[in-house]
A and B are shown apart, each in its own frame.
Chain A
Amino acid sequence: GAGVSQTPSNKVTEKGKYVELRCDPISGHTALYWYRQSLGQGPEFLIYFQGTGAADDSGLPNDRFFAVRPEGSVSTLKIQRTERGDSAVYLCASSSDRTHNEQFFGPGTRLTVL
């Protein structure tokens, strides 16, 4: 596709449940990033992938959060035992060496944990 896409656009879940958020990067982009944006805040880095491997996962808040990118394209962010504090917009971005690593952002997934 022309841009980064994320599904679902909205996700409502109950405390303690497991959720998966999906990101489809721009075709050919080797780097993929996940950020989290809470209300009234700027996006906060979670993890980024270079190809299939996680190059930097220092932003993951705890071991309930995990992300994969098994084929170097689509990525899934997985959150176990969700808590109300996980409610936020989860943003995905991708970049390419050809564009000097400018990151292109998707529309985000709004996660609400009740």
Chain B
Amino acid sequence: AQSVSQHNHHVILSEAASLELGCNYSYGGTVNLFWYVQYPGQHLQLLLKYFSGDPLVKGIKGFEAEFIKSKFSFNLRKPSVQWSDTAEYFCAVTAEYSSASKIIFGSGTRLSIRP
């Protein structure tokens, strides 16, 4: 069965610090990978996605993630965080590209930024 593991439940950083959130997935086939963000009081939004091609993908608000197939990882990074990045971050995977498919989410990482 597919699964997604997020290693950090709660991360606390100061503004301008660099961020890396870990994500590993378990699935033997071709995958599509996502990071979703949920800001306080708002609904889930897509931050970035990987379907194929360049394993380094760039998303909104300066976030990027790198797909490392050999490590089954898709870590999220940002070189300098802002207070407005305070949110819950979810790594997710789907097993198919060509048809609609359910998303398997990780348990989430809560990011708190100290101003």
Contact = CB atoms under 8 A, between A and B. Distances in A.
B70 interface: no
Interface string B75-115: 00000000000000010101001011111111110000000
A14 interface: no
Interface stretch (A15-23, A62-70, A78-86, A100-108): A100-108
A42 B102 contact: no
B115 to A, nearest CB: 25
Given A42-B105, A43-B90, A91 B44 contact: yes
A108 B43 contact: yes
Contacts of A107: 42-43
A88 B49 CA distance: 27
Given A42-B90, A43-B44, A102-B46, A50 B102 contact: no
24 contacts: A30-B100, A31-B100, A33-B103, A35-B103, A40-B108, A42-B4, A42-B90, A42-B92, A42-B107, A43-B103, A48-B100, A48-B101, A48-B102, A55-B100, A93-B44, A95-B100, A101-B94, A101-B97, A101-B100, A102-B49, A105-B43, A105-B44, A107-B43, A108-B43
Contacts, number: 60
Contacts of B101: 48, 56, 101
B43 A106 contact: yes
Interface of B: 4, 36, 42-46, 49, 51, 90, 92, 94, 97, 99-108
Contacts of A106: 43
Contacts of A102: 46, 49
Contacts of B97: 100-101
Contacts of B105: 35, 42-44
A76 to B, nearest CB: 19
Given A42-B105, A42-B106, A44-B105, 15 more contacts: A41-B108, A43-B105, A45-B102, A48-B100, A48-B102, A56-B101, A56-B102, A58-B102, A91-B44, A95-B100, A102-B49, A103-B46, A105-B36, A107-B42, A107-B43
